[in-house]
Amino acid sequence: MPRLSTSICQCVCLLLTAACHKSDPTIARVNGEAVTQSQWDAYLKFKHIRADIPAQKNSALDDYVTRAGLAATIESDKLLDTTQVQTELAEFKKELLISRYFEKFLDDKVTEQAIQNYYTTHATDYEEQKVHVAHILVRLNPKLSEAERKARLTIAQDAYSRIKTGKDFAAVASEVSEDNVSAKAGGDLGWLRAGSVDPGFSKRAFELPVGEVSEPFETPFGFHLIKVLEAAQTIKKPLRSVQGDIRYQLRADAKATEMARLLGKVKLEVDGKPRKPLDENKADQRRADRR
C-alpha cells in the first residue's frame, strides 16, 4: 500500500490541531469525507496499534486513509454489484455483533469467582473413589477350547495356593502374571478409580480388605487374582484440574439462557405471517452444513 506524502501527513496534523476544541474532531478527510478522532481511536484499538509510538501510528494512518480513499473510489466507479456487497457486509455485521456480544457477556458472567463458587457448591461431583491394588493376570482368548480354559484356570489357582501358603504376592506376580507391565512391579496397578476398569474387577477391588488376596475370578481379559495394597480413599479433584470443564459448562449454560432471553424479544414475520425465531443451536448447525 503506498504511503501518503509528508505534506498530507502535515495537513492531517493541522486538521487535528484546528479541531481539538470539538468533542469528536476531524483528523483527516478522504475524498471530502471526514475521518473523526473516535473512528481513528476505534481503528487503533481494532488493529492493536500503539498510539504512543509516533512512527507506528503515522504509518497506520497512512494505510488507513489510503485504503479508505481506494475503497471510496472503487465504490463510486459502480463496477461492483453494490447490493451484493451491502448484503455481505450486513451478514458480516450480524456475525460480528452476535459474536462480540456473547464474548463480552460471557466474560462478565463467567468469572473466576463464579467458577470457584460452582466448584464449592458441587463438591461431591469432583470426588472420586480410588483404591491401590496389585493383580496377577492369566490371559484368555475366545479361541481357547474348554480344556485349554481349564488349564489356564489351573495356573491361576496354583498361584493362589502358593500365595495362601506364604509365597510373596509380588514374587508370584513377577513369575506368573501375563500383564507384562504390572508384573515388573510385582503386579502393582497403582491407584485405580472406581468405574475405570471392568465392573467385576472394580467391585472386588473396593470390597476386598487391605492385605487380603482374592480367589481367581474371570473378566474379559482373563483370570485375575488381586490384592489390595492400600484401602479405598475418597479423593477430591483440585480446582485447577477441573476449572476448564467448569468454565465450559457455565459458559454454555449462560449462553443458552441469554440466547433464549434475546430470542424472546425478537418479533418476526415471513410472508405476512408470524414466525418463531430459529433455535440458535440449530441455526449454527445449518450454517455449518451449508459450508
Q: Encode pLDDT of 82-134 as tens digits.
A: 899 999 999 999 999 999 999 999 999 999 999 999 999 999 999 989 999 99
List residues bridging with 79 in a β-sheet.
Answer: none
pLDDT score of 286 more than 70 = no
Read off the pLDDT band of 15 (50, 70, 90). Answer: very low
How much is the pLDDT for 16?
A: 44
* Averaged pLDDT, 200-219: 94
Read off the pLDDT band of 288 (50, 70, 90). Answer: low
| E strand or H helix that includes residue 228 | strand 222-236
- In percent, the amount of the chain with pLDDT more than 70 equals 88
Residue-range domain boundaries for the chain:
6-79, 128-236, 238-290
How much is the pLDDT for 235?
A: 87
pLDDT score of 14 more than 70 = no
How much is the pLDDT for 148?
A: 94
List residues bridging with 22 in a β-sheet.
Answer: none
* Averaged pLDDT, 52-76: 92
CB 109 within 8 A of CB 168: no
* Cα distance between residue 242 and residue 126, in whole Å: 8
* Averaged pLDDT, 63-85: 92
When the pLDDT of each residue in the chain is averaged and rounded to a whole number, the result is 89
Residue 84 grid coordinates: 451484493
Task: Give the other-Cβ count within 10 Å of 234's Cβ.
Answer: 10
* pTM above threshold 0.75: no
List residues bridging with 271 in a β-sheet.
Answer: none
- Domain 128-236, CATH among 3.10.50.40, 3.40.50.360, 3.30.70.520, 2.170.190.11: 3.10.50.40
| 217 three-state secondary structure | strand
Residue type, 238: P
| Dihedral of alpha carbons 85, 89, 90, 95, sign | positive
How much is the pLDDT for 290?
A: 61
